[in-house]
Amino acid sequence: MVTRTLKDPSEYEDDVYVTGWLHDRLEDRLVEERKVKSKETRYNNLYMRMAYDVATMSHARRKKVGCIIVKDGNTISMGWNGMPSGYENCCEQVIGVDDVGSPTYKTNREVLHAEANALMKLAKSTNSSEGATMYITCSPCFECAKLIHQAGISKVIYAEEYRDKKGVDFLRKSGIIVNNDDVNNIDNATYNIYTIKD
């Protein structure tokens, strides 16, 4: 008998090899696969909403970025862009005014990115980032991408593109697979998923 990959049981209703029992089993399997994908999508959306909530903790004026790290279904760390502990919460300096009269800002050198902040908080804990998933409201810069890779994060999900794509390129060159099929949009943000290959 020839083995085939069965995708939709309705394709095989007239096939002499497919019995009613097998047809029911195939339907059950498809329902279960949809549930798993739907559950994963719901969790990805939940964690991304949490990352956006964490971003509200930032004192930055130009861009508030949030990050959470999840392992085995538990949030093990979170971070937002901001000044190091003990510094005044002033992330930018006003450097001028644009054409419409709005102030323009320059970010202070001391500001930590959300990803670095979350990883440093995690380093102080007893948790390990090995195999964890990172949810970020903005794609990582090159420096943060190196930290993410070195920390053993296995998946990075982000919502918005950072102006510099070198971080994402570095993640790809590090053997990371791009997959955004199982995440819904929240507030029109497109999620991009990167998974490190085994």
Handedness of CA 177, 122, 46, 139 (dihedral sign): negative
Chain centroid to Cα 103, Å, comes to 31
Structure tokens at 20: 């009613």
Which residue is catalytic, options 33, 40, 115, 130? 115
DSSP 22-37: HHHHHHHHHHHHHHHH
Sort 127 into a burial class: Cβ within 10 Å, 0-12 / 13-18 / 19+: middle
Give yes or no: 11 in active site.
no
65 closest CA partner among 87, 53, 81: 81
Can you tell me the distance from the alpha carbon of 38 to that of 116, in angstroms, rounded to the nearest whole number? 30
162 closest CA partner among 136, 187, 132, 183: 136
> Is the separation of the CB atoms in 76 and 122 below 8 Å?
yes
Can you tell me the distance from the alpha carbon of 169 to that of 179, in angstroms, rounded to the nearest whole number? 14
Structure tokens at 153: 């994060």
- Residues known to be catalytic: 115
